[in-house]
């Protein structure tokens, strides 16, 4: 059985597609592509149908991480269809929980719950610099490693 993971931010062009790409890249490197699959979405439809932010793409490519992304607004059906849902910050966590069924709320959490450097929000780099995108990449890398480890342990 494949574990389906969803990463959620506001517009689905910076943080969540970066986490999705990093997660799927790490899973592929570990030979786990048949066991896990990540996707991403936003709580707002500002960029629906568009590409990831050019700085997200540039940052990922600089680390050899492929990305193929189309922005998507999360739906109640998405929430029901995924095993784990990670919100990139507390505001998006609240917005996802608000549309989720009572039964689905248990699988929704903040992304950095698994960050070895501590919990909290993933800062939105949209209005920042390329350095801010690099900071988010590093958060995604170390946190996705831990999430994959958690999934592997649960599937043993």
Catalytic residue set: 9, 15, 124
What span, in angstroms and rounded, lies between the C-alpha atoms of 139 and 144?
Answer: 8
Under the phi-then-psi rule, with left for phi > 0, alpha for psi from -120 to 50, and beta for the rest, what region is 4?
Answer: beta
Nearest to 124 by CA among 138, 136, 110: 136
DSSP letters, 74-123, are --HHHHHH-SEEEESSHHHHHHHHHHS-TGGGGGEEEGGGG-TT--SPPP
**Nearest CA-CA partner of 43 in 80, 75, 78, 2:** 75
Q: Which residue has the tokens 């929000």?
A: 121
């Amino acid at each position: 059985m494949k574990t389906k993971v969803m990463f959620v931010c506001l517009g689905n062009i910076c943080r969540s597609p970066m986490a999705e790409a990093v997660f799927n890249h790490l899973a592929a490197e570990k030979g786990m592509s048949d066991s896990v699959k990540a996707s991403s979405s936003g709580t707002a439809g500002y960029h629906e149908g568009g590409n990831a932010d050019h700085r997200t793409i540039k940052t990922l490519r600089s680390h050899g991480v492929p990305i193929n992304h189309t922005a998507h607004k999360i739906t109640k059906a998405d929430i029901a269809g995924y095993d784990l849902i990670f919100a990139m910050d507390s505001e998006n966590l609240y917005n996802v929980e608000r549309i989720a069924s009572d039964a689905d709320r248990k699988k929704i959490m903040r992304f950095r719950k698994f960050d070895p450097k501590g919990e909290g929000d993933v800062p939105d780099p949209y209005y920042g610099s390329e350095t801010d995108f690099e900071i988010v990449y590093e958060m995604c890398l170390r946190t996705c490693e831990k999430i994959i480890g958690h999934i592997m342990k649960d599937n043993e």
